[in-house]
Amino acid sequence: MKAKVFVNLKSGVLDPQGKAIHHSVELLGFTGISDVRQGKYFEIALDGSVDQQQARESVEKMAREVLSNPIIEDYRVEIEA
């Protein structure tokens, strides 16, 4: 079983790295981009000792307490069997 955790800055929080990437991809000639936000992606391998529901609960807790800072970031958890 694998858990995927996506962490992104909340919409109101300035993302200077996203801005710089936005600028760079436009310099490369890509057009039609209205915004770029940079986030983080975690893959957590689970050994299968807990069921999907329990895995989700513990990974949600991990995401909330460690992987993201709730003051500036949102997270989303996906569990893959």
DSSP 7-73: EEE-TTS--HHHHHHHHHHHHTT---------EEEEEEE--SSS-HHHHHHHHHHHIIIII--TTTE
- Could you tell me how many residues of this chain bind another protein (CB under 8 A)? 12
- Binding region for another protein (CB under 8 A) out of 24-32, 48-56, 68-76: 68-76
Residue 25 in contact with another protein, rule: CB under 8 A: no
Residue 54 in contact with another protein, rule: CB under 8 A: no
Q: Which is nearer to another protein, 32 or 43 (CB)?
A: 43
